[in-house]
Amino acid sequence: MGYKIAVVGATGNVGREMLNILAEREFPVDEIVALASRRSMGTEVSFGDTTLKCKDLDQFDFTGWDIALFAIGSDATKQYAPIAAKAGCVVIDNSSLYRYDPDVPLVVPEVNAEAVDGYTKKNIIANPNCSTAQMVVALKPLHDRARIKRVVVSTYQSVSGSGKEAIDELWNQTKGLYVPGQEVAPSVYPKQIAFNVIPHIDVFMEDGSTKEEWKMVAETKKIMDPSIKLTATCVRVPVFVGHSESINIEFEDFLDEEEARDILRESPGILVIDKREPGGYITPVECVGEYATYISRIRQDSTIENGLNLWCVSDNLRKGAALNAVQIAEVLGNRCLKKG
Ligand SMILES: NC(=O)c1ccc[n+]([C@@H]2O[C@H](COP(=O)([O-])OP(=O)(O)OC[C@H]3O[C@@H](n4cnc5c(N)ncnc54)[C@H](OP(=O)(O)O)[C@@H]3O)[C@@H](O)[C@H]2O)c1
- According to DSSP, the residues that pair with 245 across neighbouring strands are 155, 312
Which amino acid residue places its CA nearest to atom 37 of ligand 1?
Answer: 36
Residue type, 293: T
Q: Are 251 and 149 in contact (CB under 8 A)?
A: yes
Helix%, strand%, coil% for the chain, nearest 5: 35, 25, 40
pLDDT of residue 340: 66
Q: Is 137 annotated as a binding residue?
A: no
The reply to whether 131-158+197-314 shares the fold of 3-127+321-336 is no
Residue type, 137: V
Q: Catalytic one among 89, 143, 234, 243? A: 243
Q: Are 153 and 129 in contact (CB under 8 A)?
A: no
Nearest to 57 by CA among 74, 71, 36: 36
Return d(Cα 82, Cα 123) in angstroms, integer.
Answer: 9
Q: Is 188 exposed, middle or buried (0-12, 13-18, 19+ CB in 10 A)?
A: middle
Residue 130 is a catalytic residue:
yes
Residue 243 is a catalytic residue:
yes
Residues contacting residue 28 through CB under 8 Å, at least 6 positions apart: 1, 2, 3, 333, 339, 340
Which amino acid residue places its CA nearest to atom 17 of ligand 1?
Answer: 163
Q: Are 189 and 169 in contact (CB under 8 A)?
A: yes
pLDDT of residue 339: 83
Pocket test for ligand 1, best of 8, 35, 37, 52 (most atoms within 8 A of CB): 37
Phi and psi (nearest 5°) for 200? -160, 115
Q: Which residues line ligand 1 (CB under 6 A)?
A: 9-15, 36-37, 39-40, 57, 71-73, 76, 94-95, 130, 160-161, 163-164, 316-317, 320-321
Return d(Cα 85, Cα 80) in angstroms, integer.
Answer: 9
Which amino acid residue places its CA nearest to atom 25 of ligand 1?
Answer: 9
Q: Is 63 annotated as a binding residue?
A: no
Q: Is 316 annotated as a binding residue?
A: yes
Domain ranges of the chain: 3-127+321-336, 131-158+197-314
CATH class, range 3-127+321-336:
alpha beta
pLDDT of residue 1: 84
DSSP state of 292: P
Query: Within 13 A of 177's CA, how many CA atoms are on the CB side?
Result: 11
Q: Is 160 annotated as a binding residue?
A: yes
Report CA(78)–ligand 1 centroid distance (Å).
Answer: 13
pTM of the model: 0.96
Q: Catalytic one among 89, 130, 234, 312? A: 130
Strands (E), 73-195: 90-93, 124-126, 148-157
- According to DSSP, the residues that pair with 206 across neighbouring strands are none
Kind and range of the H or E element at 219? helix 211-223
User: Which atom of ligand 1 lies nearest, measured to the CA of 9?
Assistant: 43
CATH class, range 131-158+197-314:
alpha beta
Angle of helix 130-146 relative to helix 257-266, nearest 10 degrees, comes to 120
Return d(Cα 148, Cα 153) in angstroms, integer.
Answer: 13
User: Which atom of ligand 1 lies nearest, measured to the CA of 10?
Assistant: 43
Residues contacting residue 262 through CB under 8 Å, at least 6 positions apart: none
Kind and range of the H or E element at 329? helix 323-335
Pocket test for ligand 1, best of 13, 97, 127, 158 (most atoms within 8 A of CB): 13
Report CA(197)–ligand 1 centroid distance (Å).
Answer: 23
User: Which atom of ligand 1 lies nearest, measured to the CA of 133?
Assistant: 6
pLDDT tens digits in sequence order for the chain, 340 residues long: 899 999 999 999 999 999 999 999 999 999 999 999 999 999 999 999 999 999 999 999 999 999 999 999 999 999 999 999 999 999 999 999 999 999 999 999 999 999 999 999 999 999 999 999 999 999 999 999 999 999 999 999 999 999 999 999 999 999 999 998 999 999 999 999 999 999 999 999 999 999 999 999 999 999 999 999 999 999 999 999 999 999 999 999 999 999 999 999 999 999 999 999 999 999 999 999 999 999 999 999 999 999 999 999 999 999 999 999 999 999 999 999 988 6
Q: Are 94 and 15 in contact (CB under 8 A)?
A: no
Residues contacting residue 264 through CB under 8 Å, at least 6 positions apart: 138, 141, 142, 270, 272, 295, 298
Q: What is the dihedral of CA 96, 99, 100, 103, to 10 degrees?
A: 140
